[in-house]
């Protein structure tokens, strides 16, 4: 019966990120602004309860959260009217431990979706592991992607957190085709776009200029796009990323596949600053996050912009409610 009752409410499991970054601050600020709008919504904060209260005190904010234990869930979320709860079991755990705990609650359907605040990458076996890679491992997901969203722009980078010098060697026809198929599936599933229009970015200046400035467009990207088109998918390119941005802004494309991290992120940062959301594609549950990082240089000063955190929360709620 409790699970049936919880189905009427939306529960977001929200991690605080690295304690010495801006994550705890932007989460507190975002919740303080959003609480009046959180009807039939519960926010379950996964982070150290003492530190979470300390951040509120430093900012002059009081969220009036309830502290709960794992063993009290989901019943405790029904007993109290307060919209914000904090998990006692998260005391002393690090950022990725919080993600592991929060993802487990989503998998067990205690929570409806996962919202993560920024955390630094971890080096594992010579690889930089961020939230996306870590969640893929936890969920056993074979194909995942980062969909960066703000305004009219939806951009998915083909490669994730790898050095720029390794990008060209990482671009294969199979990888491009898999990325476009994943993006197509998720645009249909999350946004209800029946026939997504997707553009694929070029790697080299002037889209390779028939091999004069690079051969990846001619020998890898164009053949992959042709095969996808033969399958009946709406795919264009390879094209310079600024052209794809213009097409999305005019409503002529629904999304784009960029080839590396900063090719995807730079247009969003230039146009929207600290706004925007990262949606992890390919997981068996919904996860969103602000587009910015831990911003160590301003952490603890009370000046961090919470709009990205607000976007992450409101986007998760909008996507969940679209499926209800």
Residue 189: inside a domain: yes
Are both 210 and 263 inside the same structural domain? yes
% of the chain at pLDDT higher than 90: 80
Determine the pLDDT at residue 2.
36
Residue 275 covered by a domain: no
Do residues 94 and 125 both lie within one domain? Answer: yes
Nearest to 195 by CA among 142, 255, 147, 136: 255
Inform me whether the pLDDT recorded for 124 exceeds 50. Answer: yes
Alpha helices in the chain, H assignment, sequence order = 2-6, 23-34, 49-59, 75-79, 95-107, 131-139, 167-170, 173-191, 216, 222-230, 241-249, 261-272, 307-323
What's the CA gap between 16 and 46, in Å, rounded? Answer: 7
Backbone angles phi, psi at 29, to 5 degrees: -60, -45
Residue 324 has a pLDDT of: 63
Give the domain CATH number at 151. Answer: 3.40.718.10
Total structural domains in the chain?
2
Domain match, 163 and 229 both = yes
Domain residues for the domain of 152 are 145-267
Give CA–CA dist 269/275, Å, rounded: 8
Per 3-state DSSP, what percentage of the chain is helix, strand, and coil (rounded to 5)?
45, 20, 35
Could you write out the DSSP letters of every residue in 175-205?
HHHHHHHHHHHHHHHHH--SS-EEEEE-SSG
Q: Which of 223, 239, 267 is the last residue of a domain?
A: 267
**pLDDT on residue 6:** 41
Confidence of residue 122 (pLDDT cuts 50, 70, 90): confident
pLDDT digits (tens, 9 = 90+) for 60-111: 999 999 999 999 998 888 888 889 999 999 988 999 999 999 999 999 999 9
Q: Are residues 160 and 136 in the same domain?
A: no
Given a contact cutoff of 8 angstroms between Cβ atoms, the answer to whether 24 and 104 are in contact is: no
Assess whether pLDDT exceeds 50 at residue 264. yes
What's the pLDDT at 39?
Answer: 84
Do residues 85 and 213 share a domain?
Answer: no
**Claim to verify: residue 63 and residue 157 sit in the same structural domain:** no
Residue 299 within any structural domain of the chain = yes
Q: What is the pLDDT of residue 125?
A: 59
What confidence score (pLDDT) does residue 213 get?
Answer: 83
pLDDT of residue 128: 63
DSSP letter at 36?
A: G
Q: What is the CATH number of the domain that holds 27?
A: 3.40.50.1380
Is residue 176 pLDDT above 70, yes or no? Answer: yes
* Domain end among 267, 294, 314: 267
Question: What local confidence, expressed as pLDDT, does residue 271 receive?
Answer: 95
Mean pLDDT along residues 176-191:
97
Give yes or no: residues 205 and 258 share one domain. yes
| 293 falls within a domain | yes
pTM, to two decimals: 0.93
Q: Is 310 domain-assigned?
A: yes
The least confident of 21-35, 117-131, 219-233 is: 117-131
Indicate the DSSP class of residue 213: S
Average of per-residue pLDDT across 275-288: 97
Residues near 291 by Cβ (< 8 Å), separated by ≥ 6?
148, 150, 265, 268, 269, 274, 275, 276, 277, 278, 308
Report DSSP state, residue 254.
S
pLDDT value, residue 8 = 54
Place of tokens 């900063």: 262
Are residues 167 and 252 both part of a single domain?
A: yes
User: Same domain, yes or no, for 259 and 304?
Assistant: no
Which residues are paired to 68 by β-bridges? 87
Res. 4: pLDDT tops 50: no
Pair 238, 202: CB distance under 8 Å: yes
- Domain contains 274: no
Residue 5: pLDDT band (50, 70, 90) is: very low
| 3-state secondary structure at position 279 | strand
Are 86 and 49 spatial neighbours (Cβ–Cβ below 8 Å)? yes
Residues 115 and 18 in one domain: yes
φ/ψ of 12, rounded to 5, equals -105, 125
Partners of residue 43 on adjacent β-strands? 12, 84
Phi, psi of 57 (to 5 degrees): -65, -40
């Amino acid at each position: 019966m409790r699970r049936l009752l919880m189905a009427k409410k939306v529960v977001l499991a929200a991690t605080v990120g690295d304690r010495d970054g801006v994550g705890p601050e932007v989460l507190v600020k975002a919740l303080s602004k959003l609480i009046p709008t959180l009807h039939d919504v519960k926010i379950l904060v996964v982070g150290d309860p003492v530190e979470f209260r300390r951040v509120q005190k430093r900012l002059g904010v009081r969220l009036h959260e309830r502290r709960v234990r794992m063993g009290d869930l989901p019943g405790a979320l029904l007993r109290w009217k307060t919209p914000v709860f904090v998990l006692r079991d998260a005391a002393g755990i690090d950022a990725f431990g919080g993600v592991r705990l929060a993802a487990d609650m989503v998998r067990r359907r205690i929570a409806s979706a996962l919202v993560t605040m920024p955390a630094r990458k971890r080096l594992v076996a010579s690889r930089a592991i961020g939230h996306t890679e870590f969640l893929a491992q936890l969920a056993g997901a074979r194909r995942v992607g980062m969909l960066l969203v703000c305004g009219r722009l939806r951009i998915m980078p083909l490669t994730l957190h790898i050095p720029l010098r390794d990008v060209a060697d990482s671009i294969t026809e199979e990888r491009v085709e898999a990325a476009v198929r994943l993006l197509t599936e998720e645009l249909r599933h999350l946004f209800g776009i029946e026939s997504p229009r997707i553009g694929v970015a070029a790697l080299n200046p002037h889209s390779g200029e028939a091999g004069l400035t690079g051969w990846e467009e001619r020998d890898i990207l164009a053949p992959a796009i042709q095969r996808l088109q033969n399958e009946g998918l709406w795919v264009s390119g390879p094209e310079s990323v600024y052209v794809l941005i213009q097409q999305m802004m005019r409503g002529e494309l629904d999304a784009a596949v960029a080839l590396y991290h900063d090719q995807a992120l730079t247009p969003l940062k230039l146009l929207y600053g600290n706004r925007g959301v990262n949606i992890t594609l390919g997981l068996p549950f919904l996860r969103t996050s602000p587009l910015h990082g831990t911003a160590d240089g301003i952490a603890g000063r009370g000046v961090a912009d919470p709009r990205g955190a607000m976007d992450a929360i409101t986007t998760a709620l909008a996507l969940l409610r679209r499926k209800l």
